[in-house]
């Protein structure tokens, strides 16, 4: 809390309080999943046990905006501009010289390196599901697809960690 008080609470309660009247115009499952994803990000990706309401609301707002929702600022005006570098994974899987996983991972590392500029704050990769199905040669999602999906995300996290210092850039993969 702004007063320094620490209270345990669920993401749903905080989210409804932060979003207020706007919550009625969003699908409840989208709001709940977004809040859960934000908590997962803080707990597992950043290893944090405590999060301020300001931090939570700032990240939740970015997630909701990234999903295409027009939300009013949940915590006032942003303190800085976020530079987002975006790339489409589907494009890698449809290139003429595509050799499945053999060429995919080196190409992915090179693309991440290209997107990382000194002022990059967020690197976003979209089209993961389609790319995974193409790499796996599957028409429907299967356990191999899920394993490959996890492998790609882990690979990107590892590459980002080695390329940046002190978590200066965030990674979004969808």
State pLDDT tens for residues 101-118. 677 888 899 989 988 877
Residue among 60, 62, 68, 78 nearest 20 (CA): 60
State pLDDT tens for residues 138-161. 999 999 999 999 999 999 999 998
Measured CA to CA, the distance from residue 32 to residue 13 in angstroms comes to 10
Q: What is the pTM of this model?
A: 0.54
**In the chain, where are the structural domains located?**
11-66, 84-173
């Amino acid at each position: 809390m702004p007063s320094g008080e620490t209270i345990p609470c669920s993401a749903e309660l905080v989210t409804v309080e932060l979003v207020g009247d706007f919550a009625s115009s969003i699908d409840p499952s989208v709001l709940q999943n977004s809040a859960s994803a934000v908590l997962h990000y803080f707990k597992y990706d950043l290893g944090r046990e405590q999060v301020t309401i300001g931090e939570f609301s700032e990240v939740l707002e970015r997630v909701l905006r990234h999903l295409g929702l027009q939300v009013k600022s949940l915590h006032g005006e942003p303190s800085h501009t976020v530079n987002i570098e975006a790339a489409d994974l589907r494009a890698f899987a449809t290139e003429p010289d595509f050799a499945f996983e053999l060429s995919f991972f080196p190409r992915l590392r090179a693309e991440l390196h290209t997107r990382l500029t000194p002022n990059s704050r967020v690197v976003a990769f979209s089209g993961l599901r389609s790319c995974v199905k193409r790499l796996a040669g599957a028409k429907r999602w299967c356990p191999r697809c899920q394993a490959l999906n996890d492998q790609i995300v882990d690979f990107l996290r590892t590459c980002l960690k080695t390329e940046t210092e002190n978590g200066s850039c965030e990674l979004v993969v969808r």
